[in-house]
Chains A and B, each alone.
Chain A
């Protein structure tokens, strides 16, 4: 009975993810011990506690809302990576596609004064177009998607800086607040702010991101399109042999991935929670954290919902680490260590199966010995 559960694919993913988290926290703790042993225990607890840092229920819920606001874009980035990964493509360009989404949604909102829905749609279209570049290069010029993705990330970053320069404050590098310059583009909250103690940043973004995850799960597992995509991912020669249009599939996949990542950006920036700094010199980490979230979620869209939340939870929690004991980079470092360890899910699963195999072999041996003791083996039937 219990063996069957241990062999269950879903249980294994869950279990492995859990082990990874514990390992990550442990190693993070050890690093903290090295830097400053007195505050280590407290610091790691702060990371894990996140919004429980506050004692008032009101503040807790409000800050829980903040974590959720940033979970939505992370989940979208993770889904973007997951989707192309199923087709055998590593869409590291998700970060750049996310950047394009930021650029499109903010610019359309402030410069053109468009509503939230058109802003979102335009962001998705731009992201898809950006993803298509990677796809075209891959399928027609055989350019590795990782190489072109990374280079396009930088192009996206500086293009975004350049374009959004037109809609920024005169005294700071940040773009205008939406609530003053583009209120019509802010995502509707549908009254969710009341649940989250007046946190107006909580919007339809989160439910939309969760719906996207469910939709991707259905597409991959239940549809003809998913069957084709996964076949291409597992064995592109067989896909070609079966007459699947692998070139078209690669392009379509990266377009969808790009659209998802860019939508994620609009989920973030159309809440007015953050503004873009036009002097940014690094691609937003969201796209890269998405890689860890996808793996921690066992490359399952539904699992990714929870892993994205967890990663955002500890990332936010890092901000509460006592800055008098540790330098300000420590929060990023600790979250990074935990996220890094999250990538070990498949290794843990593999080890688990190895151990189970050994145990099963032993059990079979015992069984056979018992059977032999009871009966004499007959001849050939």
Chain B
């Protein structure tokens, strides 16, 4: 019988201390198909792909390429077999340029001298062809997460890989960009490339994938043709029970002003223009204000300026009636500001600290955790972290003493959300709080955010995900090129209208 599979992973088992990440999983990727791999966080999707990519060795099971068994001991073997991967957490050298990162490992050279012009031409062609716009000479550390991902995709395309693995590629893209990416993926599949698409976004899987394999808690649940399955069926397969995909919330009852921003301007690290220009807005108690916008329009700088991670050029910020424009970060934290950061690895966690030590990151100096001689009260820290773990269902291999680095992305995020919400803030700033999370966790975090609102707190949500923006917020402010260009009511507006504002095609004069 003729072999129709590009890659087969048969009966793969992979264990880590305290956890079976993959338990007898079988995936068969047909040539030229887009095959989705669906599962919650910690279901073992990333592990499985790491096995395929040679980053981990499975204890059991075999991998076949074009029907022949192959051994993949490291990413070089995977590359040689034409397997390329865009990782969930990017593998980029921060102090190199985009171009350098793309050609890394396959540098075109003559007698050892780099031939960058050639490479640049190819990269520019590829990025034009697929609409992956990114400046080849920008340094990775200076560009946004979205652009970094585009670099990763280009890296794979540059290597002309046959089997492309996308590990949650849409997590940081805007709706329009996601549509574009979907189109790219379809085109690639048409050209005969085989795509493994890891996601837990059911809409996307439904839109782009031919078939879908589902994992749950490391176990293989089944493979279905996506055209025959409904979103509800897929989601039930993934989580094992039915979930509510829409946020339940009552009418917002705005109270006093919690946060008042007047004419805030923040400089950009990337270019000479200001990244945030003269932004004014108010957040009231009992409302969720959402800053919507396409990635890279000043949201990151706005939040950094607000929270104190970056200095302001000008403007005034008032929190609960107190002028905190020039206040130290610690002062803002004590003043009732809570911040779920955009980049959980860069800001949110000390990855080499244990989970319990991360739980007290914002209030380790509290008398509850530090006695009057400056010694840490380990017993209280343990108790507190166990409470958070229990209450917010943070899963990890060894409980409080698990090193944060070894936890799955979703559980890392849950730990941060737990820490930030449990501090009982007056203002909660949540930046992409559900980035890279599964349906169950998203539902949970959205509930928590709404609960904060209902408890009379102000919530400032920054999100790139249209669905989240429409579902969770009470008021939408659209940010475009560092300015607020529109204020919309999620109950009356449509995703299309929002998209027009986000793309800069439409703008109002907004008075905050």
Contacts and interface: CB of A to CB of B under 8 A. Distances in A.
Interface of A: 222-225, 227-228, 230-231, 234-235, 237-245, 360-362, 364-365, 368, 377, 380
A227 B358 CA distance: 11
Nearest to B381: A227
B219 A238 contact: no
Given A240-B329, A241-B348, A222 B376 contact: yes
A368 B13 contact: yes
Contacts of A377: 24
A244 B216 CA distance: 40
Given A223-B374, A364-B59, A380-B221, A242 B361 contact: yes
Contacts of B113: none
B17 to A, nearest CB: 8
B15 A227 contact: no
A240 B333 CA distance: 12
Interface string B135-148: 00000000000000
Given A224-B375, A227-B357, A243 B328 contact: yes
A287 B365 CA distance: 34
Given A222-B376, A223-B374, A361-B59, A243 B347 contact: no
A199 B448 CA distance: 70
Given A222-B376, A243-B329, A237 B60 contact: no
B229 interface: no
Contact of B365 (A224, A241, A368): A224
Contact of A380 (B13, B219, B349): B219
11 contacts: A223-B374, A223-B376, A234-B350, A238-B361, A241-B339, A241-B341, A245-B328, A361-B15, A361-B59, A365-B60, A380-B221
B376 A227 contact: yes
B329 A235 contact: no
A224 B13 contact: no
Given A231-B361, A235-B349, A245-B328, 6 more contacts: A223-B370, A231-B353, A238-B346, A243-B330, A244-B330, A245-B330
Nearest to B334: A243
B364 interface: yes
Interface of B: 13, 15, 17, 24, 57, 59-60, 216, 219, 221, 307, 309, 328-333, 339, 341, 346-353, 357, 361-362, 364-365, 369-370, 374-376
Contacts of B351: 234-235
A107 to B, nearest CB: 35
B329 A224 contact: no
B15 A364 contact: yes
A189 to B, nearest CB: 33
Contacts of A224: 364-365, 369-370, 374-376
A365 B216 CA distance: 21
A243 B362 contact: yes
B353 A234 contact: yes
A365 to B, nearest CB: 5
Contacts of A380: 216, 219, 221
B350 A238 contact: yes
A151 to B, nearest CB: 24
A365 B375 CA distance: 45
Contact of A241 (B13, B347, B369, B374): B347
B43 to A, nearest CB: 13
B55 to A, nearest CB: 13
A229 to B, nearest CB: 12
Given A222-B376, A223-B376, A361 B57 contact: yes
A238 B364 contact: no
A341 B317 CA distance: 55
Contacts of B17: 360
Given A243-B329, A243-B332, A361-B59, A227 B349 contact: no
A228 B362 CA distance: 11
A86 to B, nearest CB: 11
Given A224-B375, A231-B361, A235-B349, A241 B329 contact: yes
A237 B341 CA distance: 11
Contacts of A237: 346-347
A225 B376 CA distance: 9
Nearest to B331: A243
Nearest to B59: A365
A361 B17 CA distance: 10
B374 A225 contact: yes
Nearest to B361: A242
Return the 9 tightest CB-CB contacts between A and B, nearest first. A243-B330, A243-B329, A241-B347, A224-B370, A365-B59, A234-B352, A242-B361, A235-B350, A234-B350
Given A225-B374, A227-B357, A227-B364, A238 B59 contact: no
Given A224-B364, A361-B59, A238 B348 contact: yes
Contact of A243 (B13, B333, B352): B333
B349 A238 contact: yes
A214 B24 CA distance: 50
A243 to B, nearest CB: 3
A242 B330 CA distance: 7
Nearest to B24: A377
Q: Which of A227, A228, A361 has the most CB of B within 10 A?
A: A227
A228 B376 CA distance: 11
A377 B20 CA distance: 15
B56 to A, nearest CB: 10
A245 to B, nearest CB: 8
